[in-house]
């Protein structure tokens, strides 16, 4: 939901979360926290007021080739003016 005044358009910005989503509890927790943070930032007009954050979580399967493929897909195919990345860690 965009909380901007009528006639004011926000820039879409992608917060990319790229890690082994299915296999680590800490990364699943990070995803939940990121969703809450995205909601709070988008609803608060005093934080990044010119941006509308979108959260995209992709499973990198903790392998370099999959992570690179997902990253290239983001850069070449998505309609975002800016991308911020969060990489998770491998548990163990």
Model pLDDT for residues 57-72, shown as the tens digit of each residue:
888 887 888 888 888 8
Could you give the strand order of the β-sheet that contains 51-59, starting from the edge strand earlier in sequence? 51-59, 11-19, 82-87
The region of weakest confidence among 5-9, 15-19, 49-53 is 5-9
Phi and psi torsions of 8, nearest 5°? -105, 125
Q: How far is CA 1 from the centre of its chain?
A: 16
Phi and psi torsions of 82, nearest 5°? -145, 150
Q: Residue 39 sits in which domain range?
A: 25-61+77-92
Domain-located, residue 16: no
Domain-located, residue 8: no
Domain-located, residue 14: no
> Residue 46 in contact with residue 5, Cβ under 8 Å?
no
Rounded Cα distance, 20 and 91, in Å: 9
Domain-located, residue 43: yes
The pTM score is 0.66
Domains held by the chain: number: 1
Domain-located, residue 49: yes
């Amino acid at each position: 939901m965009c909380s901007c005044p009528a006639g004011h358009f926000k820039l879409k910005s992608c917060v990319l979360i790229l890690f082994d989503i299915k296999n680590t509890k800490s990364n699943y927790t990070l995803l939940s926290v990121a969703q809450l943070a995205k909601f709070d930032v988008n609803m608060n007009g005093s934080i990044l007021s010119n941006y509308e954050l979108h959260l995209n979580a992709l499973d990198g399967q903790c392998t370099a080739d999959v992570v690179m493929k997902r990253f290239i897909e983001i850069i070449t195919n998505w309609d975002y003016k800016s991308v911020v990345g969060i990489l998770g860690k491998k548990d163990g």
